[in-house]
A and B are shown apart, each in its own frame.
Chain A
């Protein structure tokens, strides 16, 4: 299990109603399901992942977050989780708006393009950075909209989205991953 799953899971209140958007193979859902709340379901686009979720006995809806979030009513979940998929959407701004509509709170994680290793890679090697959280080459990466922790916080401030952000400059340099709880 990825170590940030623990951090994400701890942000979710006991017995809350949760939607995991882009739930992948269901590892995070399974952890939350077993430890925090069993009222959790996932939305996943990839068929092989849908089958993995079903094998784990999880409730999963096969679908595309960019199209299918709109079917859920306003505030129908206590938490909506988006783990490391925001940068892969065609229209991330629309997805953020949908997350904040469907969920009372959204937990969003992003791979941080401001991480010092990423900065050094680009500065010294002059090629697109490859790290643990950004493992692909420029030509096969699913990531369309990379941002830094600072970019994301600035965006939320600009759009009047409440966001937890302390030690921003420090985190922007030293965190590989940004984990945020946002709400309207």
Chain B
């Protein structure tokens, strides 16, 4: 994990008052960029990552040596063409890829923060990332986009900074985290906390981490990112490297083996406490409530052009919840487009190579960019 010391970091010296009441300052925000900021500084896109993502959206992640989580979407010649656009992506605060989070050292105790780290919110994440605009001297972004928790950050960003982006693309998300999603997140947290190694969050001093708890949390969550049909098509009842059932609790089925792999691969790259903090931030997200039950008010002052995307088989952030954002925007006459993309891949669809999805983003961004340049001429 020493490589994490080498990732790009912006040290934010300005104090940031968190929703929980605490104020943080002089904290690191790890980020990565793709492409070049042009002279007019009108081609910058801020991409927000989801729960298990990080700043390495495109290319090869130097820490895990795997493809970036949005490598299908972002890169040279891709839907978000980094030969044309300048893409910035930051690790959220609370995360574990170099940004200020529970594995940082608490100056008071000289030990890792653990659960002494303040509870953070989507609002806090977005406020921290806003400093990137100042750092790059970007007056107005061309776009902000993200899926799942990234989409929540998009909504919060436009609400907090109504005239700081030309366009916004919330994908497969919600304006208000549902009871079902809170329940699923709680399942993951309880799984981590039930692991003896968790030690109330101060596991790093014991040099034992709650790997089993985190792996089970990831396994449970992973199921929610897929769909019944997708699972049926990919795995069905196929057996794992065996001809018959073993009458044991081994991974007889391919789906079991797959989930176990997903769980164990996750613990190599993710911190259990970060998982607690980030899922908590998602649960606390309720933009509608921030505006006293009227979501439209969140966007009233904004001149941002929206495009919202959902997926047919996403039961975690279903079309109906995405559509509520569309309705909130339409009801105050804001400029918004919306498409529900056909896919059997569930919530995960936004991370996958789905041509209709990739083309939708590409066409929306390119047309919007051309229109802005026409206006200037």
Contact = CB atoms under 8 A, between A and B. Distances in A.
- Report if A and B associate in a common complex: yes
B340 A62 contact: yes
B339 A73 contact: no
A143 interface: no
Interface in B320-357: 323, 326-327, 330-333, 335-340, 342, 356
B356 A61 contact: no
Contacts of B327: 71
Given A55-B363, A57-B366, A50 B339 contact: yes
B62 to A, nearest CB: 34
A28 to B, nearest CB: 17
Q: How big is the B interface, by class?
A: 20 to 34
A61 B330 contact: yes
A55 B337 contact: no
B contact patch SS: helix
A72 B329 CA distance: 9
A45 B327 CA distance: 16
B334 to A, nearest CB: 10
A contact patch SS: mixed
Contacts of B333: 72-73, 76
Q: How big is the A interface, by class?
A: 10 to 19
Which of B332, B337, B360, B363 is the most central at the interface, judged by chain A CB atoms within 10 Å of its CB? Answer: B337
A52 to B, nearest CB: 11
A60 interface: yes
Nearest to A39: B335
Contacts of B359: 51, 54-55
A51 B339 contact: yes
B340 A61 contact: no
A55 B326 CA distance: 20
A50 B359 CA distance: 12
Given A54-B360, A61-B330, A41 B366 contact: no
B336 A61 contact: yes
B339 A54 contact: yes
A57 B360 CA distance: 9
A35 B327 CA distance: 29
A63 B356 contact: no
B326 A59 contact: no
A88 to B, nearest CB: 21
Contacts of A63: 323, 326, 338
A51 B335 contact: no
A117 B356 CA distance: 42
Contacts of A55: 359, 363
Contacts of B331: 71-73
A61 B330 CA distance: 10
A83 to B, nearest CB: 19
Contacts of B337: 41, 54, 59-61
B364 A41 contact: no
A153 B364 CA distance: 40
A38 interface: yes
Contacts of B338: 60-63
Nearest to B309: A62
Contacts of A59: 335-337
Given A59-B335, A71-B326, A73-B333, 6 more contacts: A47-B339, A54-B364, A55-B359, A63-B326, A63-B338, A73-B331
Interface of A: 38, 41, 47, 50-51, 54-55, 57-63, 71-73, 76
